[in-house]
Amino acid sequence: MKSAWPFLASLPFLAGCVHSPATPPTPSNIPLGWEASPPVAAGEITGAWWKSFADPVLDTLIDDAQRRNVDLRLAAERILESRALSRATTAGLFPELSAQAGATEARRFSGLNRGDSASVSLGAIWEPDIGGRLSAAVRAARADVAASAADAEAVRLLLLDEVARAYIDYRLQRALVVLTAQTVTAQEDTLRITRDRFEFGTASDLDVQRAASLVAQTRSQSAVAVEAADAARFRLAYLLATTPEDIASRLAGRDGIPAADPLHVLLSPTEMLERRPDVRAASARYAAAGAQRDGAAAARLPSLTLSGLVGLDANGIGSLLDGGTSIASVAVGLVAPIVDFGRRRANYDAADSRLRQSGLEYEQVVRTALQETQTAIVSYLQGQVRERELARAAEAARRAAELSRLQFREGTLSQLDILDAARTVYQAERDHVQAMADVSSRLVSLYRLMGIAPEAPMIASRAEGGNGALP
């Protein structure tokens, strides 16, 4: 036994040689800036980007969604689960104590000799982490906690995005309902004039049917917008875990498409990658894979188990209460793998491959984040350009429609021309309204892709170890 101590003492140094990096390699060719950068408005940045819309209804919807959304609460519970597993893994570093008590009564059939006995003992068993396998498991479990917290933050960012865009879509569809009603009123005036002229013989029945067809076609668009508005309302009800009737009452009494102020913050590519929760989650999973590889390497080293027991032994419970006989034992166990036909080596190779996969997955997430954000910036900029041009087109179409109605009443414009002008102004105004909503929605998506949002108390408390009820 004495000759084994030098070998046992060397095991911690052997374990120290096995330690994977905790952070993934930085991908090459990370840009220093964006190809296109919109102007950024001055002002204090709090992360609550939805406040820039200055819409109290939207503020309330987002606040309630962060408290009530089922997906977010599920993500928070996953943090609690991973923390519990981490605590269980950490407990494996320490000795385990157990108590045991027993009593037996034995006699022969003749009733002469008795073999009663009773004992009580306290035992301990401990596996010193001389190979680093247990500490590697602890590092992997803690990395899993970090990944769960980052996943929950990604769910929250997506929730903020979906609530805001569903609200914008609802307001867009209601605006289209109003626009359609106004357009139908103007087209019905043209239909009335055409019918009057038909009565006087200055217009044909063909002219009447053309005007009536245009009115019906335009009116049908109202049903499309109402359907889309209801779909957006139902989406909000799902996101807030409430009823469509509740959402309808919240949305009543306010019209207009939310128009945000100009972009308040534009992070550099490096800053964006630091804030993106999916990037943080991929980094944490790389750390977990590295720790798992360390554990697979440590599994190829010998393991040591120490156990001990102290207690009392007596001939019967009565004798035990009087003191009995003290007992104590200490045991040392050493297990060293010799021949496993390559199983441990194969497990290590698999863990090594998973680590390389995690590195590639991290790079994939980083490059996807760069591509998504750059695309969103260009989309936001071009959306602004499109909205300005469509505003000019809608204004010109409205002026042309007014002139065509005047000329039609005076009899200097054909019926086909007035109908064409009516179609043009309706389409131009629809396009402009939709472009306004697109700019707001694209701005919302850009904030999400940059990872901008204030800290979530619920997620932070779960990640730090809180397990209280949801507010």
pLDDT tens per residue across span 279-294: 999 999 999 999 999 9
pLDDT of residue 20 exceeding 80: yes
For residue 413, pLDDT beyond 90: no
- Quickly state the pLDDT bin for 323 (edges 50, 70, 90): low
pLDDT at 106: 62
Average pLDDT over residues 119-139: 88
What's residue 38's pLDDT? Answer: 75
- Going from N- to C-terminal start, the domains of the chain cover 60-98+114-463
In the predicted model, is pLDDT for residue 459 greater than 70?
A: no
Say what the pLDDT of residue 469 is. 41
- Which parts of 201-276 fold into alpha helices (H)? 205-239, 244-251, 269-275
Total-model pTM? 0.85
Are 167 and 322 in contact, with CB atoms under 8 Å apart? Answer: no
Report in angstroms the alpha-carbon separations of 190 from 300, 354, 394, 411, 430. 88, 71, 20, 12, 20
**Where is average pLDDT lowest: 117-121, 182-186, 313-317?**
313-317
Mean pLDDT of all residues belonging to the chain: 87
SS (H, E, C) 116-176: CEEEEEEEEEECCCCCCHHHHHHHHHHHHHHHHHHHHHHHHHHHHHHHHHHHHHHHHHHHH
* pLDDT score of 318 more than 70: no
Query: Is the predicted pLDDT of residue 228 greater than 80, yes or no?
Result: yes
- Say if residue 184's pLDDT is above 80: yes
Whether the per-residue pLDDT at 370 is higher than 90: the answer is yes
Pick the CATH number of 60-98+114-463 from 2.40.10.340, 1.20.1600.10, 1.10.357.10, 1.10.10.10: 1.20.1600.10
Least confident of 18-22, 225-229, 316-320, 381-385: 316-320
pLDDT the model gives residue 155: 97
Instruction: Kindly tell me if the per-residue pLDDT of 5 is higher than 70.
Output: no
